[in-house]
Chains A and B, each alone.
Chain A
Amino acid sequence: MSYSIDMTDQIAGATDPVLRLAGISKSFPGVKALSDVELALYPGQVTALIGENGAGKSTLVKILTGLYQPDAGRIELDGAAVRFATASDAAAAGVTAIHQETVLFDDLSVAENIFLGHAPRGRFGLIDWARMRREAAAILTRIGAQIDPATPLRELGIASKHLVAIARALSIEARVVVMDEPTAALSATEIEELYELVDRLKREGKAILFISHKFDEIFRIADRYTVFRDGQMVDAGRMADVTETQLVEKMVGRAVDTIFPQRESVPGEVVLTVAGYAHPTEFADIGFTLRRGEILGFYGLVGAGRSEVMQALFGVTRPARGAVRIDGRIAVIRSPAEAIAQGIVYVPEDRGRQGAVTAMPIFQNVTLPSLPRTSRRGFIRMAEEFALARTYTERLDLRAAALDQPVGELSGGNQQKVVIAKWLATRPKVIILDEPTKGIDVGSKAAVHDFMAELAAEGLSVIMVSSEIPEILGMSDRVIVMREGRIAAEFDRARLTPETLVRTAAGYDRKGVAA
């Protein structure tokens, strides 16, 4: 490729940006998503794009990849103005994006996914399958992924799918790679592998835009940062010149206590006992107790079986064996309805699919499991519904225009508040939170942590499944680490370090678990 020579020059100098956005504005009906923002991406460097949900990051990514047209402003590639009218224009200019939820096709092979839309052609314009597989294998080897190009994508795990997405980005000779929260669905080991890959892309001279909510990883891999707030660029610079606290302040526009809520935990009597709990395929030998007013953390790699245990406790999937006792009495839970009746509720990880009914209004989401309480003889009493919904959503500091607004119009953090309000309204004994702060902004995250602490202080028992080490360490009284469907270890918060957690989750005697 002709530009590879220029690129080495640029790495040497590393001063001129490959891609520069200037004065970019974009409005939607009623919302100014971006106003007069700047962004510069340099070859061989990672620029972190930081901002709360709704700051305009996604809109910017869509402009960069040709999905949206800016209302005003300039996009310059190597100093020359360009226009990305369509997604293929952006791709042809060497801009590619790896999204949070990979946009790949389960029923196609790995090689087909990598080359979809730009497959090597042979005679008569037909796809040259042999060459496609050969080139796919070469790219996969280059990024250190041990994946057979002929494998159907469906058979791969999330981490491997990300590798395929990255291979796809490389297959179009990308110069600018946009990574939109690439680690959101990955476990600790997989994240390390992703970092190595980012380093490799840097060495190849790619300019990388890295969007993330996690400050530890921003400090780990980014060279520069750009901060967005409410659709405006508030600051940009070198990572070496800022601290985490400064970045958070720039991002939220105020000083935020990033420390987890301090709490005096005095766990009471045992509320929940699980013994010999086993599922035919997902988990085995699960046994633990949960006390009143306690926060029990569940840590593990993705696929360790944590969510599966919780969903069995909530009656979604039925375990083959085992006993569950609530307040000392054997509890038979065969459906979520029975779990709710016994006082166990579950805030799922997949908010949009399992947690909220996004097309329905806030108040109807909140009252859904409490309808028997707000109704009389099965007939709806709307005033009671509004009252119940308002009580709990306001206490959780829900930001909404009105209670009849569809939940889908709210931000991720506020949707999560609606789901939590729904369960608090049932006055449960045990609340299970599965990745409660996944994909929500820093402000809402702190709010969710505060509720958890308050709930525990009021005597509710909390189980928190989380893959974020700071959250596990900051919130839990005790931590159970799961590995391959079994409990690997149980720790008190006092004698727990991040290293212990990671090593226990991955297995002591094995290093570098394959993706």
Chain B
Amino acid sequence: MSLLDPPRSRSLPDRLTGPAARLSRSWEVLLLGIAVLIFVANTQASPYFLDPWNLSDATFNFTEKAMIAFAMALLIIAGEIDLSVAGIIALASTAMGWALQFGLGTPGLVMIGLAVGLACGAVNGALVTRLGLPSIVVTIGTMSLFRGISYIVLGDQAFNGYPDSFAWLGRGYVVWVISFELVLFALFALIYGIVLHRTNFGRHVVTIGNNPTAARFAGIRVERVKMVLFLLTGLMSGIAAVCLTARLGSTRPSIASAWELEVVTMVVLGGVSILGGSGSIPGVVLAALVMGMVTFGLGLLNVPGIVMSIFIGALLIGVIAIPRLVARIRGR
């Protein structure tokens, strides 16, 4: 028997509970239940809801925000946050509109949108990881900074006249009712799900969020991982900027106003701990579906926007408070 190179044995079990038992207690199953309830409620509330084209339209309520939410989920799990994502959209969209005046084609516009997103992510990441500043303060600052630049460039003007091939990125359909944005959403859900749950990088993200000191003592390059996460969030904001600009067909400095809060809401509703250390991509996907369906269903019922935000707020607090209340009652 050797300690450094021990033989293999099999007495300590891998897991105490089976996959079914783990699943039944998971947040995702609770969210799935809520999603089904809202789906059924919507079908009862409006006869138009089940129409395939209506359902397809409903997806635009969440696809762009959800793309950012995937990257944001990783960032929040790692114990950081980026509140400048909507500011990045504004700046990236403005840059694309400005480039349009020089006759750039669709590939060039997309490249600019993504590059601005990456650059903004790099600014946030450098301020947080190089200077050690708290990300919530840094990104509240860059939130105003990025959008401020957009206001200076545009004033009360707007950039219009994006080419048709560009517009397809926001309005186009791949097959039947499946939009290009929906395909992107599904693709990114898959990629981020694999990255978070099936790669060493994802494990490092979770470890850093649970205990950054122990992560460093285990040889994880904490600052490098965080830098990558800020870059990813910037890049996803750039991609969302391309889609949103293409869909709206114009750029105004007020574009994507207050999206950062909706993105964070989606992440937290998806079961990601706001304190970092835990969360899942399937949860965020379900949260995106729930939020999208609520918004669309209330829209079909002609409920005013302010009531929708009240409903989303109540849903968020309710979904977070109920498990804790249940645990407290059980603990007695």
B157 is an interface residue with CB less than 8 A from chain A: no
B200 is an interface residue with CB less than 8 A from chain A: yes
Contact present for B16 and A404 (CB under 8 Å): yes
Q: Which of B32-40, B71-79, B212-220 contacts the other chain?
A: B212-220
A 387-436 contacts with B by CB, 8 A: 387, 390-396, 398, 400-405, 422, 424, 427
Residues of A contacting B5 in the complex (Cβ-Cβ under 8 angstroms):
427
Contact present for A403 and B3 (CB under 8 Å): no
B326 is an interface residue with CB less than 8 A from chain A: no
Residues of B contacting A422 in the complex (Cβ-Cβ under 8 angstroms):
218
A360 is an interface residue with CB less than 8 A from chain B: yes
Contact present for A455 and B13 (CB under 8 Å): no
Contact present for B16 and A402 (CB under 8 Å): yes
Q: Identify the closest chain B residue to A337 (Cβ).
A: B219
Residues of A contacting B2 in the complex (Cβ-Cβ under 8 angstroms):
458
Residues of B contacting A339 in the complex (Cβ-Cβ under 8 angstroms):
219
B 79-113 contacts with A by CB, 8 A: none
Q: Identify the closest chain B residue to A339 (Cβ).
A: B219
Contact present for A336 and B4 (CB under 8 Å): no
Residues of A contacting B216 in the complex (Cβ-Cβ under 8 angstroms):
316, 335-336
A 315-341 contacts with B by CB, 8 A: 316, 335-337, 339-341
A379 is an interface residue with CB less than 8 A from chain B: yes
A348 is an interface residue with CB less than 8 A from chain B: yes
Least CB distance from A27 to B in Å reads: 13
Q: Which of A91-99, A152-160, A244-252, A351-359 contacts the other chain?
A: A351-359
Contact present for A395 and B215 (CB under 8 Å): no
Least CB distance from A402 to B in Å reads: 4
Interface readout for B218-229 with A: 1 if CB under 8 Å, 0 if not? 111100000000
Interface readout for B1-25 with A: 1 if CB under 8 Å, 0 if not? 1111111111111111000000000
Contact present for A404 and B198 (CB under 8 Å): no
A372 is an interface residue with CB less than 8 A from chain B: yes
Q: Which of A32-40, A263-271, A363-371, A500-508 contacts the other chain?
A: A363-371
Residues of B contacting A390 in the complex (Cβ-Cβ under 8 angstroms):
8-10, 12, 14
A 423-452 contacts with B by CB, 8 A: 424, 427, 451
Q: Identify the closest chain B residue to A401 (Cβ).
A: B16
Name A353's contact: one of B7, B9, B12, B213 (CB within 8 Å).
Answer: B213
User: How many Å lie between the Cα of A455 and that of B1 in the bound state?
Assistant: 11
Contact present for B199 and A368 (CB under 8 Å): no
B211 is an interface residue with CB less than 8 A from chain A: yes
Interface size class of B (residues with CB under 8 A): 35 or more
Residues of A contacting B6 in the complex (Cβ-Cβ under 8 angstroms):
391-392, 394-395
B193 is an interface residue with CB less than 8 A from chain A: no
Q: Identify the closest chain A residue to B6 (Cβ).
A: A395
Contact present for B8 and A387 (CB under 8 Å): yes
Contact present for B218 and A360 (CB under 8 Å): no
Residues of B contacting A29 in the complex (Cβ-Cβ under 8 angstroms):
331
User: How many Å lie between the Cα of A337 and that of B213 in the bound state?
Assistant: 13
A68 is an interface residue with CB less than 8 A from chain B: no
B130 is an interface residue with CB less than 8 A from chain A: no
B201 is an interface residue with CB less than 8 A from chain A: yes
Least CB distance from A23 to B in Å reads: 24
B160 is an interface residue with CB less than 8 A from chain A: no
Q: Which of B51-59, B175-183, B202-210, B290-298 contacts the other chain?
A: B202-210
Contact present for A394 and B11 (CB under 8 Å): yes
Contact present for B207 and A368 (CB under 8 Å): yes
Q: A337-B220, A451-B3 are in contact. Are A402 and B14 (CB under 8 A)?
A: yes
Interface size class of A (residues with CB under 8 A): 35 or more
Q: A335-B221, A353-B213 are in contact. Are A458 and B12 (CB under 8 A)?
A: no
B277 is an interface residue with CB less than 8 A from chain A: yes
Least CB distance from A160 to B in Å reads: 26
B 225-279 contacts with A by CB, 8 A: 277-278
Residues of A contacting B277 in the complex (Cβ-Cβ under 8 angstroms):
359
Least CB distance from A228 to B in Å reads: 26
Least CB distance from A491 to B in Å reads: 27
Least CB distance from A407 to B in Å reads: 10
Name A455's contact: one of B4, B194, B210, B278 (CB within 8 Å).
Answer: B4
Contact present for B199 and A357 (CB under 8 Å): no
B 163-207 contacts with A by CB, 8 A: 194, 198-203, 206-207
Q: Identify the closest chain B residue to A358 (Cβ).
A: B211
Contact present for B12 and A403 (CB under 8 Å): yes
A86 is an interface residue with CB less than 8 A from chain B: no
User: How many Å lie between the Cα of A358 and that of B11 in the bound state?
Assistant: 23
Residues of A contacting B211 in the complex (Cβ-Cβ under 8 angstroms):
353, 356-359
Contact present for A360 and B217 (CB under 8 Å): no
Name B213's contact: one of A346, A354, A402, A404 (CB within 8 Å).
Answer: A354
Contact present for A337 and B221 (CB under 8 Å): yes
Residues of B contacting A401 in the complex (Cβ-Cβ under 8 angstroms):
13, 16
Q: Identify the closest chain B residue to A348 (Cβ).
A: B217
A460 is an interface residue with CB less than 8 A from chain B: yes
Contact present for B214 and A394 (CB under 8 Å): no
Residues of B contacting A348 in the complex (Cβ-Cβ under 8 angstroms):
217
Contact present for B3 and A454 (CB under 8 Å): yes
Least CB distance from A14 to B in Å reads: 43
Residues of A contacting B3 in the complex (Cβ-Cβ under 8 angstroms):
395-396, 424, 451, 454-455, 458
Least CB distance from B79 to A in Å reads: 12
Contact present for B13 and A402 (CB under 8 Å): yes
A141 is an interface residue with CB less than 8 A from chain B: no
Interface readout for B38-68 with A: 1 if CB under 8 Å, 0 if not? 0000000000000000000000000000000
Q: Identify the closest chain B residue to A341 (Cβ).
A: B219
User: How many Å lie between the Cα of A337 and that of B217 in the bound state?
Assistant: 8
Least CB distance from B131 to A in Å reads: 18
Residues of A contacting B16 in the complex (Cβ-Cβ under 8 angstroms):
401-402, 404-405
A386 is an interface residue with CB less than 8 A from chain B: yes
Name B218's contact: one of A359, A369, A395, A405 (CB within 8 Å).
Answer: A369
Name A391's contact: one of B9, B198, B203 (CB within 8 Å).
Answer: B9
Residues of B contacting A379 in the complex (Cβ-Cβ under 8 angstroms):
194, 198-200
Residues of B contacting A372 in the complex (Cβ-Cβ under 8 angstroms):
200
Q: List 24 A-B contacts (CB under 8 A).
A: A335-B221, A357-B215, A359-B211, A359-B278, A364-B203, A369-B218, A372-B200, A375-B200, A380-B198, A380-B199, A380-B202, A390-B9, A391-B8, A392-B6, A395-B6, A402-B12, A402-B15, A403-B13, A403-B14, A404-B16, A405-B16, A422-B218, A427-B4, A455-B3
Instruction: Give chain A's interface residues, CB within 8 Å of chain B.
Output: 29, 314, 316, 335-337, 339-341, 346, 348, 353-360, 363-364, 368-369, 371-372, 375, 378-380, 386-387, 390-396, 398, 400-405, 422, 424, 427, 451, 454-455, 458-460
Q: What 9 pairs between A and B have smallest CB-CB spacing?
A: A395-B6, A337-B219, A402-B16, A371-B200, A340-B219, A368-B218, A404-B15, A357-B211, A402-B13
Known: A359-B277, A369-B218, A405-B16. 5 other contacts (CB 8 A): A346-B217, A355-B217, A368-B215, A390-B10, A395-B6
